[in-house]
Structure 1
Amino acid sequence: MSARVRRRTSDPRSGRMVAQAWLASRGLIVLMALLLALLRHADPFELANHWDALHYGALAEKGYLDDPKRMAFFPGLPALLALGLWLKVPYVVTGVMLALVGSALAAAALNRLAGPWGAIAWLFAPTAVFTTVPYTESLFCAAAFWAWERAHAGRWLPAVVLTALACTLRVSGLFLIGALFVMILTTPRTSWSARLRRSALLLIPAAVLFGYIGYLYSLTGSWTAWFTAQSTGWVRGFTWPWDSFAHTIPAMQIDMYPDRPEVHWVFRGEMVSMALGLVVTLWCLTRRMWAEASWVGVQVLAFSLSYWFFSVNRAILLWFPLWMMLAQWGTWQPRWRWLRVTHRVVVVLLFAASIGLMLVWCWLFFTQRWAS
């Protein structure tokens, strides 16, 4: 972590800026939900209960045996939703509350990693709606970002405990373990005995992943139950990257889904998100941020192995190096005045565009249109 970021995050004003941005961004999303609920004569919480939220709710209510395809979803969030049901709280209400708390914790960690402008950019990301509904993005980012921050500070026991929590939420926890291992290997001025101790600690979150695989084996008798669910339910079987790219091209054309015009725009977004992942990976590599490069790069590779580029628009929320890169570019101070003015105008326009896209994505999700 650079000294520049450390100085920035030590200023209490940065925390206030992020808190205000959290209130403003969540307020805009809630306002959109309330307006749509009023226009559609619907319960605002029900607008948050679409797509994967329905699967998480069904898992909380019925468990995994009701539909084997739901084994693609990790048990952390369903367990918390089930606890809410036990307390007589509807699972969608519990999910929204958890997402709001998780987004605040994730933004606080990102403030330490990327400075206030990185956290603010994340809060107003185009797909920020997924950090306010019963999805895993918010809680996973909270656990993963703080795990990374603690590891950077040399506090490895809290880091691996947080990583273990992340592993209960998404398979992305596996990539987090790998990236932390790269951090262990590439951190300078570290003895090999310290590297060995830290590597051994990573067995804790790895055990969580193997525990889930073992649990599915106890239910199905198959060690590949999770992969089977991914393949049969969400077309995530192995595909060569060039074939995945080729399969995505037709989905970007309007005639692929003529009755659902939003689909081709979302798939165009998937292509842009994949390209952005490559840019961030290269940006990290040029700065010798090996662990950060592995965190983003391995996810880009994983997404390129599906039938088509799918759910990458949501995955950018997990890529904290992306928000570090944007914060560094957004706070750049060119030497020449004309370039400074031009740069600020571009930054403001892009930030406004991000807010506009965020509201569009809210509309897509809340009206049950395809939203990645």
Structure 2
Amino acid sequence: MSLISPELREQPSLPRPRPRRHEPARLHFRTRAGRRPWSSVRRVFRLPSGDREVLWLYLLTRAGLWITAYCARWLFPADPGNRTTSSVFAPFQQWDWYHYLNIARDGYFPDGKGPWLSEWDNREAFFPGFPLLLRAVHVIVPHWTAAGLLISFVAGGIAVVALARITRLHLPSAKDPGRRAVLFFLLSPCAVFLAAGYTEALFLALALPAWLAAQQRNLPLAATLAGLATAVRISGLFLAAAIAVHLLLSARRHWRALPWLALPALPAALYAWYLHAYTGDWLAWKHAQERGWYRDFYAPWDAWSHTWTGAFGRTQTTGYALMFQAELLALLATLLLLALLLKQRRWPEATYVGLALCALGTSYWYMSIPRATLLSWPLWVSLAAWSLRRPRIKTAYLCLAAPVSTVFALTFLTGRWAG
């Protein structure tokens, strides 16, 4: 009698396993958890999907600006009778770029020249951060303009990622608010300066991560980045003041960390000491701005009156008059932003915007206020929050800002910018 049941007897017999031949050992280099070590490295450098979307948007807008610059070379040549175009870098070689180039290439006081000469270009009005970095990058990139554009390109990518993260911290429950704020930022009227060899992109690449570090109570990092931002623009001191207010208003006041807030003032102090060694003037950079750009102190109502006359008094050519009109609109927008920040009791951001407004709104007339809106990150965060409550705001902004941004880009790229 068989001990095997009928059911098992009907099943086919399983094949016997073949004896395993000797195989060469395979090198897998795995960690203790069974994962390859480079996978953990890849996870460290892999950006979240939200940041990748922001960078994709950044690349698209950069491509749009480069296409605009390419067309400007063909449509608006310096000589209408030309049959050949200028260099591909020529549209970006405008205005303040030559000051940064001269500083990086020749220094502040070459061959004994300085403000004691009548034909002096007042280059000491510009802080040394960007020219120093430009000189360093030029060692690798031989073309000066290409080196400047590379700095702004990389710095702009860092800035938009930081802006998106700041917006997410402010609007944690909203769906993808960071991308919305970055979209408004990249299509703003003066966004062309983020692509040019100017200081806006580099300043934001340092200032916005500094603000993020302050939000995470990492004051040493925040103060260090704010100090580097001050080496690029004096606005870094306004950022340091905002960080100080944020620290004092936090639930846990870190009094021992307050000395770190003196660090952002160090680059400005060193630059003043350097200028004093050559000129005997501790405020040489400020006096250079007064000589070259009429940035001596005036009462706010006098500054408004002078700018209004330049915009509508028929005392300026039409191009300058239009730029003065843009200055007035930018000032009003900044005042509205400041009022909103005060109403919402966002005291640190209000400190930053208010100090910048005092600096720009008390010269002989307004100059560079539209450009300064790029540096005002609370503006783009507030616009994102407003558009989330009222969806039509986004459509209205895109329809109105995009053509103005194109006009301003063409104005700068063809050498007609005046603000």
Q: Same fold (TM over 0.5)?
A: yes
> Secondary structure at 1:168's aligned position in 2?
helix
2:70 is the alignment partner of 1:34: yes
Counterpart residue number, 2:307: 248
Aligned partners of 1:179, 1:312: CA distance in 2, in Å?
A: 19
Deviation at 1:59, TM superposition (A): 0.7
Let me know the Cα RMSD of the aligned residues.
Answer: 1.6
Determine if contact 1:184/1:198 at 8 Å carries over to the other structure. Answer: no
Counterpart residue number, 1:106: 159
Query: Per-residue CA shift, 1:2-22, capped at 9, x if unaligned?
Result: xxxxxxxxx944223312210
Deviation at 1:322, TM superposition (A): 0.3
Determine if contact 2:206/2:229 at 8 Å carries over to the other structure. Answer: yes
Counterpart residue number, 2:43: none
Of 308, 321, 333 in structure 2, the residue corresponding to residue 276 of structure 1 is 333
> Secondary structure at 2:312's aligned position in 1?
coil
Deviation at 1:123, TM superposition (A): 1.4
- Larger mean Cα displacement after TM superposition, 163-172 or 115-124: 115-124
Of 239, 253, 260 in structure 2, the residue corresponding to residue 176 of structure 1 is 239
Counterpart residue number, 1:293: 350
Deviation at 1:344, TM superposition (A): 3.5
- Larger mean Cα displacement after TM superposition, 32-41 or 138-147: 32-41
Determine if contact 1:95/1:134 at 8 Å carries over to the other structure. Answer: yes
Deviation at 1:225, TM superposition (A): 0.9
Query: Per-residue CA shift, 1:276-323, capped at 9, x if unaligned?
Result: 111111111111110000100111111111111110010000100001
- Structure 2: gaps of 5 or more residues: 1-46, 78-84, 116-121, 168-177
Of 375, 400, 403 in structure 2, the residue corresponding to residue 353 of structure 1 is 400
Determine if contact 1:124/1:358 at 8 Å carries over to the other structure. Answer: yes
Counterpart residue number, 1:228: 287
AA aligned opposite 2:302: D
Determine if contact 1:147/1:162 at 8 Å carries over to the other structure. Answer: yes
Matches within 5 A, 1:16-165: 16-39=52-75, 40=77, 41-66=85-110, 67-68=114-115, 69-87=122-140, 89-114=142-167, 115-165=178-228
Determine if contact 1:361/1:371 at 8 Å carries over to the other structure. Answer: no
Aligned partners of 1:89, 1:314: CA distance in 2, in Å?
A: 29
Deviation at 1:223, TM superposition (A): 1.0
Deviation at 1:368, TM superposition (A): 0.4
Aligned partners of 1:33, 1:247: CA distance in 2, in Å?
A: 33
Of 401, 406, 413 in structure 2, the residue corresponding to residue 366 of structure 1 is 413
Aligned partners of 2:336, 2:415: CA distance in 1, in Å?
A: 31
> Which structure 1 residue ranges, 4+ long, deviate > 4 Å from structure 2?
none
Counterpart residue number, 1:200: 259
- Larger mean Cα displacement after TM superposition, 57-66 or 141-150: 57-66
Aligned partners of 2:310, 2:226: CA distance in 1, in Å?
A: 35
2:358 is the alignment partner of 1:305: no
Counterpart residue number, 1:239: 298
AA aligned opposite 1:35: C
Aligned partners of 1:107, 1:85: CA distance in 2, in Å?
A: 25
Counterpart residue number, 2:34: none
Determine if contact 1:84/1:90 at 8 Å carries over to the other structure. Answer: no
Cα distance change on mapping 1:19 and 1:131 into 2, 3 Å: same
- Larger mean Cα displacement after TM superposition, 74-83 or 84-93: 84-93
Deviation at 1:86, TM superposition (A): 3.6
AA aligned opposite 2:55: A
Cα distance change on mapping 1:120 and 1:197 into 2, 3 Å: farther
Counterpart residue number, 2:385: 328
Query: Per-residue CA shift, 1:137-187, capped at 9, x if unaligned?
Result: 000011111100110011111111111110110111111111111111112
Of 238, 252, 259 in structure 2, the residue corresponding to residue 190 of structure 1 is 252
Determine if contact 2:104/2:131 at 8 Å carries over to the other structure. Answer: yes
AA aligned opposite 1:255: R
- Larger mean Cα displacement after TM superposition, 213-222 or 82-91: 82-91
- Larger mean Cα displacement after TM superposition, 350-359 or 132-141: 350-359
Deviation at 1:371, TM superposition (A): 4.3
AA aligned opposite 1:244: A
Structure with a larger share of its residues in helix = 1
Counterpart residue number, 1:263: 320
Aligned partners of 2:105, 2:240: CA distance in 1, in Å?
A: 30
Deviation at 1:346, TM superposition (A): 4.4
Deviation at 1:348, TM superposition (A): 1.1
Deviation at 1:90, TM superposition (A): 2.0
> Secondary structure at 1:369's aligned position in 2?
coil
Determine if contact 1:166/1:173 at 8 Å carries over to the other structure. Answer: yes
Structure ranking higher on relative contact order (CA contacts 8 Å, 6+ apart): 1
Aligned partners of 2:297, 2:97: CA distance in 1, in Å?
A: 26
> TM-score scaled to structure 1, two decimals?
0.89
Deviation at 1:102, TM superposition (A): 1.0
- Pair member with larger Rg: 2
> TM-score scaled to structure 2, two decimals?
0.80
AA aligned opposite 1:370: W
